[in-house]
Chains A and B, each alone.
Chain A
Amino acid sequence: MKIVTFAKHVPSSVVTPRIAHSGDRIDEDGLSHEVNEADLYAIEEALYQRSLHKGSVTAITIGPGRAKEALHIAYAKGVDQAIQVVDEALRGVNPVLNVMAAAKVVKKLEYDMIFAGIQAEDDLQGQFGIGLAEALGIPAVTAVTEIRASPGEKVATVMRELGGGFKEEIEVDLPCLLTIQFGIRRLRYTPVMAIVRSRSRKIEQVTVESLAIPTEGLQGNAPLRVMKLSYPEDGGRCELIRGSAEEAARKLVHKLVEAGVV
């Protein structure tokens, strides 16, 4: 079974992001990046499926030069092939461009299934997988929590968890696209050495430009535009009530009444 997965290189929480002067994006300077966690689950699941059905797993990233690191990690996890779509202009953050670029690349590959993370941590859009399935004309199932594939019969049974513990079982024809829910299986540890070793492995690179994607409608004149980013509002305030136990309790009740809680 041949599986295609994606690894988006997103800012990590180690460094708190700062909003760029333009106000519509975050400043790349000083950021540190990591692989989008949901994508890691998709890759982990793909590797698990490969262990059951043989075949291969390909990982693709779309982003600027640094995004290569996401593929080193994918290699360290155990994927067989890695492709980077080099996007210096939009740095892999434009969902529309990402879908179009991915569709172009995937069309040249053989695949039975495509696993995408349920959403990306940086924009939380959750549209990439669905958009890609649409562009490729294959069925998509979202938020999958369990996969039983029968590549011979070209069909898979997948499970989705609905709210309140309800579950839904879906049968889907292959090839298909599944967006993978967090926690589908435990992420195995990736040793630093494995990442270092995989730095010397081959990454196929194609540039966005070479894919001849129509760029009108992607930047300034796009039908959908980010207008402004803003910092989180200061969270609740914390106040220390001093004094003896009774005194403090009295003050507390007073404050609660004041605040209209009681």
Chain B
Amino acid sequence: MDHALVPAREVFRHFPALLVVAFYLISVVAVGVFAYGLWLRIRKYCAGRPANRFDLMWRRILGAAWTIGGQVTLRKRDSYAGWAHALIFWAFAGLFIGTLIIMVDHDFLRPITPALQFWKGTFYLWNSLILDLMGVGLLVGLGMMATRRWRFGLAQLDYSRPDRNPGEYSRLGYVRDDQVFLWGLFVIGATGFLIEGLRICADRPPFEVWSVVGWQLANGIDALGLSPATASRLHLYIWWLHAVLALAFVAYIPYSKAIHMLVDMANLLFRDELAGKRLPGIADGAAAMGYRGLADFTWKELMDLDACTKCGRCHIACPARAGGWPLSPRDLILDLREHAEATLGGRSWLHETRVRQVHGAVAGGLIKGETLWACTTCLACVEACPVGIEHVPLIVQMRRTLIEEGILDRNLQDVLEKLAHYGNSFGEPGHNRAKWTQGLPFKVTDARTEPVDFLWFVGDYASYDPSLQEITRSVARIFRKAGLRFGILYEAERNSGNDVRRVGEEGLYQLLAGHNVAALARAQFKEIVTTDPHSYNTIKFEYPAFGATYSVRHYTEVIRELLETGRLPVRRRLDAVVTYHDPCYLSRYTEVTDAPRAILQALGLTLIEMGRNRSNSFCCGAGGGRIWMTDAGAAERPSVQRIKEALQIPRVTYFVVGCPKDVTMFRDAVKTTGNEGRLQVKDLIELVEEAIGSDGDSCVADVS
């Protein structure tokens, strides 16, 4: 036969016609089941509320291609899992393309005219080599994943829930799904090699040395003493086993975690880069704010629910979970998914059993109030999630429902009422807002009446908290020393509303933000500088919705510039070992991580990083309105855990922060753990002032 001369192989080797027909029939059924399952899911998403995720389509496509192709989010902070997944991903994609090539060549080109077929000769040989290597990649990747999952004992892969007692739920379905998925792929890959080996063993076409793995397997089979005739017969059986498993897998995809292959690509394509940073508003004329049920979810949010692979990265990143509150972002998504699958269809075959029935609103019912209130909106979950799930906007939407229903911590209620009346969370009269300036040897410019370069948005904590006011004055002194033309809004400033919005009190947010925007409109300035990273976020990302776009910087960014341009000369270099805690709202939200470090370096300090730094920082526990709530978690507070993390650094003396709430939280944590002698919490500005000198003179000859 001439195929011995031109390298190629028969697709249906020695098959009677009936079996070929049977194969095509099974294929059609498998693809049909797959298509039906996929349609169920798509139908579910189509039932969602609209969300505009079709803007900047090219940017989205390129971004998603980069993330998926490079497996960027998967490799971040977990190279083992990332590379294992990359192997599986690329091998699977390659083998899939290899199968498509055969299909095109055999089922489309051959019926037209065999002259068009290209799956032969040199192409065939290279194809064989590459696919064999892909097959190895797949098996190695799966082996690494299996070892990781079942041998490493990782906390993120532990499915137990922080919010329920062990007897109240069963996640055996999830475990089975993992097993079926992983071992299913493994067996399909392994049988693929086996049929290749058997075929080569039976026919021994010399060019098949190119199928490196198959050839060696054939040698092994030979060594076992199998005759070519037996190998040929076995080949038929194993071929069918492989084919049926592969087709069953195709059918299985939309009913299992394997659907993540498709949904997660779409999810990454449609993700919102500002998820959590810029929260959705409320539709005009809405009967109530928030999410009461699935009908309120957008299609993207319904897709988010399906996208979760239970990788648990968010679960271990979450400070609320670590602090023993009944919240795991993973479980929140999974609970909503179970509910959506049960209600809207498109269900996975293996799922959590004994799921709670929901009565009334999802918020406060299926997802408990305590769970939703535990979130610090630190954004660690969104940042950690490799597949672009947006937990924080969902949590806030459900909190809005809790606010509507009046399910909230008593202290939080008091604070919201104070904010509504006084415009600050301290319940102090507005005219006391700038009282801190009275301790300064100069008058801070009133930006409402005099034009300035920098409008300093001071923020509630920095303005009203007596224990922080010295730090605030320090900022003022340094600004003055550098000769900045800066001013404040005095009593016209209100709480920025960042955390009010994240608490879910959208109406109050609108009031506060509207007030600030109006006050800012009456002032003349070039840019805004903030001391509070929370205010920074909302002014930068959310105030534009009020038609007000500003150039905003954190004070550390300004000071870095002043140091680097020599406008603030360092008089006394400091000598100490310090560590720096990235505030969530400065690192994950507004992405300022270099400036504080550059300042520390300029001051001569030795910075030693904690394990979790920059965008992987661990929340102090104050954000999202948590600082106003009183319920305690069952474990050590996140701020205490963080201090202990810092204390592992040898000779560390300063725990440096750049957020007023951090100063409060961590000073408290240091005190309650009795570590005052060992570690001092410092705002960056305190160190700057130490190095620059605190006398009132300006470094610049002409100030005003």
Contacts and interface: CB of A to CB of B under 8 A. Distances in A.
Interface of A: 12, 14, 32, 34, 186, 188-189, 191-197
B289 interface: yes
B282 A189 contact: no
Contact of B410 (A186, A191, A197): A186
A193 B408 contact: no
B404 A191 contact: yes
B51 interface: no
A195 B429 CA distance: 23
Interface string B404-435: 10101010010011001110000001000000
A186 B407 CA distance: 12
Given A14-B429, A189-B408, A191-B289, A196 B403 contact: no
16 contacts: A12-B421, A14-B421, A14-B422, A14-B429, A32-B421, A186-B410, A189-B403, A189-B413, A189-B416, A191-B508, A192-B506, A192-B507, A193-B404, A193-B507, A196-B507, A197-B287
A192 B515 CA distance: 14
A95 B404 CA distance: 35
Contacts of B403: 189, 191
Given A14-B429, A186-B410, A191 B421 contact: no
Contacts of B417: 189
Given A12-B421, A34-B421, A192 B406 contact: no
B493 to A, nearest CB: 16
Looking at A12, A32, A193, the one whose CB has the most chain B CB atoms below 10 A away is A193
Given A34-B421, A189-B403, A191-B289, 11 more contacts: A14-B422, A14-B429, A186-B410, A189-B413, A189-B416, A189-B417, A191-B404, A193-B506, A195-B507, A196-B507, A197-B287
Nearest to B408: A189
A192 B410 contact: no
Contacts of A188: 406
Contacts of A12: 421
* Secondary structure type dominating chain B contacts: helix
A189 B406 contact: yes
Interface string B493-535: 0000000000001111011000000000000000000000000
Contacts of A193: 282, 288-289, 404, 506-507
Contacts of A34: 421
Contacts of B421: 12, 14, 32, 34
B415 to A, nearest CB: 11
Contact of A192 (B413, B429, B511): B511
Nearest to B414: A189
A184 to B, nearest CB: 16
Contacts of A196: 507
B505 A191 contact: yes
A99 B422 CA distance: 33
A34 B420 CA distance: 11
A192 B510 contact: yes
A201 to B, nearest CB: 13
B452 to A, nearest CB: 28
Nearest to B417: A189
Contacts of B429: 14
A64 B289 CA distance: 31
Contacts of A194: 404, 507
Interface of B: 282, 287-289, 403-404, 406, 408, 410, 413, 416-417, 420-422, 429, 505-508, 510-511
A51 to B, nearest CB: 13
Contacts of B410: 186
B507 A191 contact: yes
Contacts of B406: 188-189
Contacts of B416: 189
A193 B511 CA distance: 10
A194 B417 CA distance: 14
A72 to B, nearest CB: 12
A-B pairs with lowest CB-CB distance, top 3: A192-B507, A193-B507, A188-B406
Nearest to B418: A14
Nearest to A194: B404
Contacts of B289: 191, 193
B289 to A, nearest CB: 5
A34 B418 CA distance: 13
Contacts of B282: 193
Contacts of A189: 403, 406, 408, 413, 416-417
Contacts of B287: 197
A32 B422 CA distance: 11
A12 B429 CA distance: 12
Contacts of A195: 507
Nearest to A32: B421
Contacts of B408: 189
Q: Which of A12, A34, A194 has the most CB of B within 10 A?
A: A194
Which of B404, B406, B410, B417: most chain A CB closer than 10 A?
Answer: B406
Contacts of A14: 421-422, 429
A164 B445 CA distance: 55
Nearest to A190: B406
A210 to B, nearest CB: 34
Nearest to A78: B406
A191 B401 CA distance: 10
Given A14-B421, A34-B421, A186-B410, A192 B404 contact: no
Nearest to A200: B285
A137 B408 CA distance: 41
Contacts of A197: 287
Contacts of B420: 192
A191 B406 CA distance: 8
A32 B420 CA distance: 12
A197 B506 CA distance: 13
B44 to A, nearest CB: 29
Contacts of A186: 410
A121 to B, nearest CB: 14
A196 B422 CA distance: 18
Nearest to B510: A192
Contacts of A192: 420, 505-508, 510-511
A194 B506 CA distance: 10
B592 to A, nearest CB: 31
A189 B403 CA distance: 7
A47 to B, nearest CB: 11
A262 to B, nearest CB: 32
A124 B511 CA distance: 31
A196 B404 CA distance: 13
A191 B289 CA distance: 10
Contacts of B511: 192
Nearest to B285: A197
A14 B282 CA distance: 29
A194 B410 CA distance: 19
A243 B384 CA distance: 57
Contacts of B422: 14
B433 to A, nearest CB: 13
A64 B506 CA distance: 30
Nearest to A15: B429
A235 B288 CA distance: 47
B87 to A, nearest CB: 51
A35 to B, nearest CB: 12
Contacts of B505: 191-192
A194 B287 CA distance: 9
B521 to A, nearest CB: 22
A195 B289 CA distance: 12
A26 B508 CA distance: 29
A61 B627 CA distance: 37
Contacts of A32: 421
B280 to A, nearest CB: 14
